[in-house]
Amino acid sequence: MGTTNSTASSARSRDGRPPGGASASASLTAGRRDSPAPGGLRRWAPAVACYLFAVALLLATDTPPGDIARYTGYAAWGVLLPGTLVFRALRRRPHTLVEDLVLGAVTGLVLELGAWALLVSLGLQRFAVAWPLLVVVPFLAVPGLRRHWRPAGYRRPAERWSWATAGVVALSSAYYYEVFLARFPILPDSETSRQYGDLPYLLSLAGNAKYNVPPTLPQVSGEPLNYHWFTFVHMAMGDLVGHVDLSVVEMRLMVPALGALGILAVAVVAHRLVGRPWAGPVAALLVFAVGEFTAAYPNNVGSWTFGAPAVRLMSFASLSLTYSQPLLIALIGAAGDPLRRTREGDGGIPSFGRGAYVLAALFALASSAAKASTLPVVLGGLGFAGLMILIGTRRVPWTIVGLGAIVGAAQLFATAAVFDFQSYALEVVPFGNVRGYWADPDGSRPAAVQAGLVAAILVAFVLNHHLKAAGMLPLLWRSRLDLAPVQWFLLGGALAGPAAYLAVNGFNASYFTLAGLPFAALLSAWGYCETFERAALPRRAVLLLAAAAAVLAGALTLALYRYSDDWKAFAARPFDGPAGEPPYVKLLPALVAAAALAGLALAGGLLWRLAGRAVPALRRRGGVVLLTAVLAVGVPATALDVLQARKVHWEGSWILPETQVQAARWVREHSGPRDVLATNSHCWQFEDYADSASCDNYRSYWLSAYSERSVLIEGWAYAPRLMATAAGAVSATTGFWDEALFRRNEEAFYHPTADTLRRLRDDDPRLRYLVVHRKAGAESPRLKDLTKQVFDNGRVAVYELS
């Protein structure tokens, strides 16, 4: 396969000016000439402003200033510095400082995994702050490495590029403030405080990672954790190196920091692969701002209907997703770099050289157990690219074969060493995750109607997640599928994610969709930049286009916010019937809205074409207007998500009283890392149950989370052995697998005897405290005679075994 003719529109006339005198378009897409660049302190102003804005948001949500300072020091010393030095040693020549720092920070995330394994396995956690010296000292002592402290030859991005990228990061920080930081306290501060359900569980894994290599399941002492746990190593290192409480790391610092790193990684990888500086901010905006399209408020499509919501691409709801995104994007950049073709218009961006393969190996290794859905999609992208190049050239693309071997080896490592060959019962069931929408149990629909319904629902799936990919369509059309290898790779990844979701049945298959979206956003930004170049808009037209896009997004947001109920009723009216609401009715608002907007676009296109005959300035510019409008239609999802978060509790949040957390943290302060606890608390929450009533949702994680200690039996719904039998879903109502142990545990609280307590301690000699949650059931009065009561706040009591 050859390359596209994408550089034709960037050709310059003999006097050096872009065709048509389009100065705005040229400044947007220029490759070599990305000046004027700021000098002195001014060049750091966007980064400093962005950082101070994030600090202000953190302070507004009661984040201790000392913790912000310590976390900043940890990020600079424990991640950025060692990672940047190693990245500089691996890449051939410098490109931009921002690229070195961003991809260096991602490299630092990889290095700290090895540092953690060494420190914790040797019991050297107290010396964790010194681990970067393992990198710093060689780079000071070895003459050949000293040059990487002050490399020469950087290009400076344009000041507007820096401010645009910083603006996207600031928008993401504001989004996290609204939907997360301002919604939940760092620690519960009342008896009615609410907490998103998974966060205590994730916090418990980070606490466990401070002391165990590999981590174990804290809720069932000694149970293996065959799960993607690298995220929680990163959290643990924030505590060990930065001395920042894990609750502050989780509830305040980690999410906006990694979200910012992910957006910056998108920007620098887009610049490198596309060859146009402004592809970076465009791709970053696509990743962050363009979300799912449901044409309904509140979002009437369940969180997992078509996969996890796209507006939460880097989200607190799944910390493993938040952590894995920068690693995935960096892996795309490292794997895509050898597939680039140096050509006019790529800005002369130097390749990584052979170091690209080492970087790909590092990023793939870290991605393998950061999020299990990542590497299969990368492999799908490489396999697709290799197949298309083989067909087009009839030559084996050995570069892709080598990259595939690297990624495949990382996948094999994770499958064997981390996941223990568990598939979590995921199985190939074509359309198993969506076919419920077109279910016809009694076979009453005509075949033609059923086929049309299937097609419509698949269109709804594309609309729901993939509007941000619209920019790739003009790229594919104009190239006539004569793509460069790196474009085949991006297209393959964009297709592999949703294809895996549609092919594999299971709750967690939705993350395959999300793994494909960065590929789609990068290729979409490429297509948008080429479309913009061809339009050659003057500066005034650029400003008008941006204003029109903002007005369209704002108008749609307002319309959905105010009139969504009326619109949903209108869209569903032709399908009302006596048999009740068919399952596909929830998708009708989006489908009908898409049809209406497509009709308006067609009419507008015809009018534009007619007007172009009279006004030459309109010719060849309708495409960029249409594409901008399509992308703007996806923006309301993010704004509406913010509005929804202000009015309703996050789906899946529950009451977590302050007194429970106080008790758990008391235990943390009065126990050792190897001590084990026992508890009678096994349920999601007890506010909806009468005293001593049995629960039916075994997701209690508060004790292990805030004590940072393992529990003999707490909540077991997320145990890998159970999720493996439920297609990766939560086994919330399944009983504990060891009935005898569970019976001994309960008897220790409700019918204690000296023999019962002795046998329970025989099950785990490290058992030290019995923690009673009285809403789950009041303990027997005999417990005071057999043990020593050491804590009691009314709701929770703690007894120490002699």
Tell how strand 653-655 and strand 194-196 pair up.
Answer: antiparallel
- What is the total residue count of the chain? 802
Angle between helices 81-90 and 97-121 (to 10 degrees): 110
Closest CA to 437 of 585, 575, 591: 585
Residue carrying the six token digits 């929408």:
437
Tell how strand 653-655 and strand 504-505 pair up.
Answer: unpaired
Helix (H, G, I), strand (E, B), or coil: what is residue 189? coil
Distance in angstroms (rounded) separating the CA atoms of residues 307 and 322: 16
Query: Encoding tokens for residue 498?
Result: 């949703």
Distance in angstroms (rounded) separating the CA atoms of residues 20 and 618: 13
Distance in angstroms (rounded) separating the CA atoms of residues 203 and 239: 12
281-306 mean pLDDT: 80
Distance in angstroms (rounded) separating the CA atoms of residues 313 and 79: 23
**Residue 271 CB: number of other CB atoms within 10 A?**
29
Distance between first and last Cα of the chain: 74
Distance in angstroms (rounded) separating the CA atoms of residues 77 and 79: 6
Contact 221, 712 (CB under 8 A): yes
Distance in angstroms (rounded) separating the CA atoms of residues 108 and 92: 18
Tell how strand 767-773 and strand 676-679 pair up.
Answer: parallel
Closest CA to 148 of 136, 157, 156, 130: 136
Query: Encoding tokens for residue 204?
Result: 């418990």
Residue carrying the six token digits 């676009």:
601
Q: What is the pLDDT of residues 442-493, one digit of tens each?
A: 888 888 989 999 999 999 888 888 899 999 999 999 999 899 999 999 999 9
pLDDT at residue 222 above 80?
Answer: yes
Q: What is the pLDDT of residue 2?
A: 42
pLDDT at residue 16 above 50?
Answer: no
| Most confident option among 24-28, 222-226, 329-333 | 329-333
Residue carrying the six token digits 């820096």:
162
Q: What is the pLDDT of residue 604?
A: 92
Confidence bin at 12 (pLDDT 50/70/90): very low
Closest CA to 234 of 360, 88, 106: 106
Q: What is the pLDDT of residues 108-157, one digit of tens each?
A: 999 999 999 999 999 999 999 999 999 999 999 999 999 999 999 899 99
Contact 320, 526 (CB under 8 A): no
The CA-atom distances, in angstroms, between 108 and each of 103, 113, 134, 543, 639 are: 9, 9, 13, 39, 33
| Most confident option among 24-38, 74-88, 304-318, 552-566 | 74-88
**Residue 134 CB: number of other CB atoms within 10 A?**
13
The CA-atom distances, in angstroms, between 743 and each of 27, 373, 739, 763, 779 are: 71, 37, 6, 12, 15
The pTM assigned to this predicted structure is 0.92
